[in-house]
Structure 1
């Protein structure tokens, strides 16, 4: 059936796309789950979409998907060498407490590294380091964390393996453009260097002035999370039923709305709930809960609040106690996403108590066990070094403030950031993957898989760690949206959208059309994932270029760069989401700092593409 030149198939596919976009933006369900739903919808409506079961799951076998899986694993092996941690030590030494040097060190190292290692784990490693660099320089961490994310994004434009969108764009170039075998490892590196240089210059000048200082320099964590009225010190009277009870037993019987964090006794401090000490008369207990809850507890148990005793971050810093306060970010791929804190069992399994949650401008301090965790949430936790190590290794939480990173510049480098004995082997294997691809000896998917094999057999990476390193939600998202591109092509949806681009060419020069296409793609990537943007826009780019008798490869590059450089929202790129909470940013901060940067990069990239490849 055709109505005004638009087939029923086009209408059905566009409806599926619009529904998917609505779910991507609203995040009512996780994006990877939405992508799985897209697979089902395409097959259910196969008579109109033209996508059968085999085509619908083709994304899982797509070379780009397999390559991205392998690159996650290779990045993990490089991370395990300790090189990035070692670099953090040298950064602390270089900055020497100077604010501008700290900014230069942040953006000047993150960008180049992100060209060869997946930028998400790079940012995860750098967040605690940068936070402590900010402390040493007496500058707000907000002034450094947003530039950290932006520099990592800019670095992704340097090489083919810089981001997953580059790899996906290469696969589309191979299948959609005649005579193209994909995109070379360093084919666009000269332009990437220009983009990185321009972006870093912006961050060091205009961006530096626009970036707000949301979190005060050297801020007290208790003040930062406004917990003054949610932490108290109570004394244990001789007739209290708490006397003689363990913390665990007392908590089970009496503590519903409050939690004991410390027992303080004659100058000694015992961290709860792990301590085996029994509560004694005269003990002072540091408790977490509202003042109303503390008062109700006092009426039942005889515990009396010591009004003159203020609880600050210093209260929790004791040389005899391992536990520490820390900020922790919930990354997008964390298994905790979608679970309540009670369901996640963080306290039971990892001796970690969540004291507050910062979610954008919202600060949550009550009913925490019932709060559902979301990507980007910033948690204030009372935790142990062992748990910090677990969260860091597993990637379930990104620790954004850690005492172990304090005074790195004065520390023994070898002890603080030891290098693995496998470091030369791992670096050599990674160099081999890059070299084999760059020289055309092997397709990137095969080179990456051989690299993973070599990392595992040489002991640089264990098989379990390799599988754990993969962000499977990203892989399922990728595999789920790739069939949308198939449906767009099969039904003529890409051709229909390309017609709109052709119409624009009737009013402005071809270079302006390329620029407008870049802007639209960038805006779309800011509200949905860059991966989904690439899948939707590259078929349109190639179709439009053919109709305009333009260079299809230039339009593909425009879509690739636009999707890979999303600065305007915290949800458009995962690294933005990771610094959102630790920096205390507002949504508008990304528009204020990222908006001009995105426009600047749009102009530079469009002109660079036109100069190098033509339009």
Structure 2
């Protein structure tokens, strides 16, 4: 075969080759030998190499507003985390669980669904997992009984608004590229609300019957769930003990500053019970437990000195001062010795907190005898810390991954998020514009540090989206989408709109359970639009159908990101999702299709 005839042959079979390439991409998603973003990128590179999509078309993919909006919403959501808004809400529900029992857990799940409609549900679930586990423990429930419901409720809540999930934003972006008008914030609310109501009722009645009772290997989970023992004294700004800035303060003032658990108050050799009305004096040492973020937040408060410093130096003295967290491995020189007897403190290095799994490490920091496995927060100058970490048996020394909460900016973060949502609902400006302006506000006002803002963006999701958009353009260029519509259309041309909606929803849901929902959304959205044109139907109801079918994925842990997160955290098996998830797929699918037909077609 000559070179010319070979290229003619390729051009005539481009549709077949691109279909095979798409099938290989889907198989890569299904078998998970590589991360989905890597598979999609390789697929996009293949389409570019074969000439099915041009370099200019690949570059145009980056002008799609959906990925930019998704990244901006990740940052806006991170501001609610960094300012302690979500932590305050979770603390309220943990306390409520002790008073109200199971009703508090149900209320939290409903709150998670509503919150998922206002922010990206992935970071929300990450924050709520340790809280839900704590609530389950207080109710004597296995974590496997509550984590799947958390994921499912966040999925259902994500169908309420345009910003509830990245898939919604992506489908809207693809639809706009096809010439459709941008969707409004609450355009899918009637359909999502129907799915939420039916799904919640199903979960409430069938969940107790179908969810497993299985102990999780991760009952304490992450840094947020690990508590450190620490101590604090009042700082005084004047010469007298009771000056205007530093007078005696009730213990309730201390506990109100952050979510801490006071263990005792040491006054000389006397150990006092933590009475909220107890007045703290210069001599008092407050022994308490708190997670890392709370400890760092309290450490920055000007009225309290936190941690043990043998020479009583300021915790952050010197421009090069820093804090590290290290795991103590144990050695003959320091194992079993009191912290106060160690030679770490000669240059001002201090211990901010110590965590020992399942135990209180000691009566106070100075009296703790280190054991292998203890997690220790050390504070001091960089050089001094390096010397100690190398001379002692510490492993896994890192800077704390969590940050102090910026609670004084919590109202600003809430207001910014609420304003973005409200102005989008009122259609004042495009959502991408409002989201970017909101990001500018929270970065300028330091509701979240720039480094944390960039870290909050899930780069793998953005890479997957950009790559799938390029593949979608290649399929359009090779005529695969038109061919697929031409095959499907004759079977649906005489069918009622309700049957068309059910058929498209079933296809979307089936594919979503096997591969990434973002990938399915990119492929099926243009198919839905073309199918509507070929059978003389308004394309919007079919776009809504793809949106809900790609978001409401319950039967496998790989179809939706929050399912994948709780899959590991709850110690689940694959079959645990099938038992309840298949039922949820059917009832939510029927409710969604009927509501789309009733509100958008009939």
Q: Same fold (TM over 0.5)?
A: yes
**Aligned counterpart for 2:593 among listed residues 606, 609, 613:** 606
1:488 deviates by: 2.1
Distance in 2 (alpha carbons) for counterparts of 1:527 and 1:22: 9
User: Residues 506 and 63 from structure 1, CA distance in 2 versus in 1: closer, same or farther, beyond 3 angstroms?
Assistant: closer
In structure 1, the residue matched to 2:116 is: 114
In structure 1, the residue matched to 2:22 is: 17
Summarize the alignment of residues 10-159 of structure 1 with structure 2, pairs less than 5 Å apart: 10-46=15-51, 49=52, 51-96=53-98, 100-159=102-161
| Contact 2:327 2:373 (C-alpha < 8 Å) held by counterparts | no
User: Residues 449 and 322 from structure 1, CA distance in 2 versus in 1: closer, same or farther, beyond 3 angstroms?
Assistant: farther
1:543 and 2:545 aligned? no
In structure 2, the residue matched to 1:296 is: none
Distance in 2 (alpha carbons) for counterparts of 1:568 and 1:426: 35
Query: What TM-score does the superposition give when structure 1 sets the normalisation length?
Result: 0.68
User: Residues 219 and 89 from structure 1, CA distance in 2 versus in 1: closer, same or farther, beyond 3 angstroms?
Assistant: closer
Q: RMSD between aligned alpha carbons?
A: 3.3
Distance in 2 (alpha carbons) for counterparts of 1:523 and 1:419: 43
Q: Deviations over 1:504-555 (max 9, x none)?
A: 3268543122112101101111111111010010111111111111221111
1:435 deviates by: 2.1
In structure 2, the residue matched to 1:407 is: none
Distance in 2 (alpha carbons) for counterparts of 1:609 and 1:547: 20
1:7 deviates by: 4.7
1:559 and 2:520 aligned? no
Q: Deviations over 1:319-356 (max 9, x none)?
A: 44788989xxxxxxxxxxxxxxxxxxxx99xx998xxx
1:109 deviates by: 1.5
Query: What TM-score does the superposition give when structure 2 sets the normalisation length?
Result: 0.69
Which is higher, the Rg of structure 1 or of structure 2?
2
In structure 2, the residue matched to 1:210 is: 210
SS in 1 for 2:62: helix
Distance in 2 (alpha carbons) for counterparts of 1:519 and 1:323: 57
| Contact 2:190 2:599 (C-alpha < 8 Å) held by counterparts | no
Q: How many residues align?
A: 453
SS in 2 for 1:460: coil
Distance in 2 (alpha carbons) for counterparts of 1:152 and 1:456: 27
SS in 2 for 1:488: helix
User: Residues 505 and 137 from structure 1, CA distance in 2 versus in 1: closer, same or farther, beyond 3 angstroms?
Assistant: same
Tell me which moved more, 187-196 or 562-571. 187-196
Summarize the alignment of residues 354-365 of structure 1 with structure 2, pairs less than 5 Å apart: none
SS in 1 for 2:146: helix
User: Residues 314 and 485 from structure 1, CA distance in 2 versus in 1: closer, same or farther, beyond 3 angstroms?
Assistant: closer
User: Residues 154 and 12 from structure 1, CA distance in 2 versus in 1: closer, same or farther, beyond 3 angstroms?
Assistant: same
Distance in 2 (alpha carbons) for counterparts of 1:217 and 1:29: 25
Distance in 2 (alpha carbons) for counterparts of 1:419 and 1:435: 24
User: Residues 149 and 324 from structure 1, CA distance in 2 versus in 1: closer, same or farther, beyond 3 angstroms?
Assistant: farther
SS in 2 for 1:96: helix
Distance in 1 (alpha carbons) for counterparts of 2:335 and 2:442: 55
Q: Which runs of 5+ in 2 are unaligned?
A: 222-325, 337-355, 363-367, 375-388
In structure 2, the residue matched to 1:176 is: 178
User: Residues 501 and 539 from structure 1, CA distance in 2 versus in 1: closer, same or farther, beyond 3 angstroms?
Assistant: same
In structure 1, the residue matched to 2:579 is: 592
Summarize the alignment of residues 172-571 of structure 1 with structure 2, pairs less than 5 Å apart: 172-177=174-179, 180-215=180-215, 273-275=328-330, 277-278=332-333, 318-319=361-362, 320=368, 390=401, 420-505=407-492, 509-571=496-558
